């Protein structure tokens, strides 16, 4: 039997009549705790809606899919401006995710070979080794913090090894990377949060300057060495771009995967029948991870700027308007997914949009999937009687929906 407070049993929540955000302010703690009822309201009553800060939101799957794949759009305006962001800061906002072609294409090409399906599969034994070491350390305790003991060390260890960042420095930048994510919110974030994001970005910039200076005399076969070689060859990468790609890859390489693993394990424990199905049939782990991404992924929205006037669900939005494509809402749209509020580890097809789409489709999607499959699958296979110490989530400092801690008990 599913728990009485099954988080998938949502009903559309009517917003307060004086709430200009219609219940969907991403900086509201209540929305972060459970955004899905408010998103359901948007899908049903305001699928295309404005906000108090001038940008627009798309809540339905079809509209989100179109802005990601079909409609001319990017992350910058047609004259190259990154909306809501102060780009005057050194080494800020030069990461590939904040660029449009041709810069985005050039930067992505420099690192894409490390993240192809074939390249990722080659490191599966290394990922499994890290997972096994994490589970060995908690075996016999009868409990663990899913985040500190598994969801954080697995992707952070793997991305450190891939980039060539010393693992012993992980504690230095774990908080920096989480706080730096708020820089993506730009001027929308509260001043104190934005100040911490800028400070974290400065710390990361200083860290990589020192690391790059040392690595220049001892190049290896890691990503950082590859980027240094590209910078030294001339036109392909500038010094500022080198630092920005290094920081961006580090953040993107593990921050959201922490959320994928943590939220995924939480949903499995909250749905014991589905947990039992996965335990009885370990081969379901691939579809189970896809369902974790659809049902409660770490990234609720992605930003696009229209490069031409476009119509969505009967509303025409003008060129150079900033759009929030609500991925989490699209992923629970009944027009695209039968019984979308049901968590189903065998769901097929499952054409979720958790990794975005189009030119900016998540570069690390294959790596994130592999890490989640190994971490979640191994935990479920190894331990019995998984139970949350509390169903209340303590969120971490990240802009994304990433738990800061997730206490879990088990036997075996």
Mean local confidence (pLDDT), 303-315 = 97
Predicted confidence (pLDDT) per residue in 144-158, tens digit: 999 999 999 999 999
Q: Check whether 186 has a pLDDT greater than 80.
A: no
- CB distance 245 to 110 below 8 Å: yes
Q: How confident is the model at residue 14 (pLDDT cuts 50, 70, 90)?
A: confident
- pLDDT of amino acid 265: 98
- CB distance 101 to 359 below 8 Å: yes
Q: How confident is the model at residue 7 (pLDDT cuts 50, 70, 90)?
A: very low
Domains of the chain with bracketed CATH:
29-411 (1.10.630.10)
Q: Check whether 90 has a pLDDT greater than 60.
A: no
3-state secondary structure of 220: coil
Nearest C-alpha neighbor of 87 from the set 178, 175, 201, 190: 201
Of the listed ranges 5-14, 96-105, 147-156, 163-172, the least confidently predicted one is: 5-14
Q: Check whether 185 has a pLDDT greater than 90.
A: no
Instruction: Please state, in angstroms and rounded to a whole number, the distance separating the CA atoms of residues 3 and 177.
Output: 35
The proportion of the chain whose per-residue pLDDT surpasses 90, expressed as a percent, equals 81
Rounded to 5°, angle at Cα 376 from 372 and 377: 110
Q: How confident is the model at residue 1 (pLDDT cuts 50, 70, 90)?
A: very low
3-state secondary structure of 250: helix
Torsion of CA 70, 74, 75, 76, to 10 degrees: -150
Q: Check whether 6 has a pLDDT greater than 50.
A: no
Residue 366 buriedness (CB in 10 A; 0-12 / 13-18 / 19+): middle
- CB distance 363 to 111 below 8 Å: yes
Predicted confidence (pLDDT) per residue in 336-354, tens digit: 999 999 999 999 999 999 9
Instruction: Please state, in angstroms and rounded to a whole number, the distance separating the CA atoms of residues 363 and 28.
Output: 29
- pLDDT of amino acid 53: 92
Predicted confidence (pLDDT) per residue in 324-338, tens digit: 999 999 999 999 999
- 95 upstream amide cis, omega within 30 of 0: no
Mean local confidence (pLDDT), 190-216 = 92
Q: Check whether 86 has a pLDDT greater than 60.
A: yes
């Amino acid at each position: 039997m599913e728990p009485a407070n099954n988080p998938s049993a949502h009903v559309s929540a009517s917003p307060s009549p004086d709430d200009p955000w219609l219940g969907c302010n991403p900086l509201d703690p209540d929305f972060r705790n459970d955004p899905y009822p408010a998103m359901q309201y948007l899908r049903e009553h305001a699928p295309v809606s404005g906000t108090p800060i001038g940008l627009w939101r798309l809540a339905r799957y079809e509209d989100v899919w179109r802005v990601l794949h079909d409609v001319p759009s990017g992350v910058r305006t047609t004259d190259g401006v990154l909306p809501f962001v102060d780009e005057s800061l050194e080494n800020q906002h030069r990461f590939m995710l904040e660029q449009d072609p041709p810069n985005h294409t050039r930067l992505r090409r420099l690192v894409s070979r490390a993240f192809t399906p074939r390249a990722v599969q080659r490191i599966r034994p290394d990922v499994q080794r890290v997972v096994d070491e994490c589970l060995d350390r908690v075996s016999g305790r009868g409990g663990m913090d899913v985040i500190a003991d598994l969801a954080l060390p697995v992707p952070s260890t793997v991305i450190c090894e891939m980039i060539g960042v010393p693992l012993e420095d992980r504690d230095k930048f774990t908080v920096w990377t989480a706080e730096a994510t708020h820089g993506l919110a730009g001027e929308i974030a509260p001043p104190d949060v934005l100040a911490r994001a800028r400070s974290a970005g400065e710390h990361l910039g200083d860290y990589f300057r020192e690391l790059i200076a040392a690595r220049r005399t001892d190049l290896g076969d890691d990503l950082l060495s590859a980027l240094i070689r590209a910078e030294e060859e001339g036109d392909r990468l500038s010094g500022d771009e080198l630092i920005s790609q290094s920081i961006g890859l580090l953040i993107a390489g593990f921050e959201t995967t922490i959320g994928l693993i943590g939220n995924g394990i939480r949903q499995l424990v909250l749905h014991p029948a589905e947990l039992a199905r996965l335990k009885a049939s370990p081969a379901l782990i691939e579809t189970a991870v896809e369902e974790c991404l659809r049902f409660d992924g770490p990234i609720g929205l992605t930003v696009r700027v229209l490069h031409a006037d476009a119509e969505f669900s009967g509303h025409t939005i003008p060129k150079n308007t900033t759009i929030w494509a609500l991925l989490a809402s699209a992923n629970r749209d009944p027009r695209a997914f039968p019984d979308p509020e049901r968590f189903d580890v065998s769901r097929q097809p499952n054409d979720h949009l958790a990794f975005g789409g189009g030119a900016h489709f998540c570069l690390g999607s294959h790596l994130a999937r592999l890490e989640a499959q190994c971490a979640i699958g191994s935990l479920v296979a190894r331990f019995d009687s998984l139970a949350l110490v509390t169903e209340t989530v303590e969120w971490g400092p990240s802009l994304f929906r990433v738990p800061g801690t997730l206490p879990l008990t088990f036997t075996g």
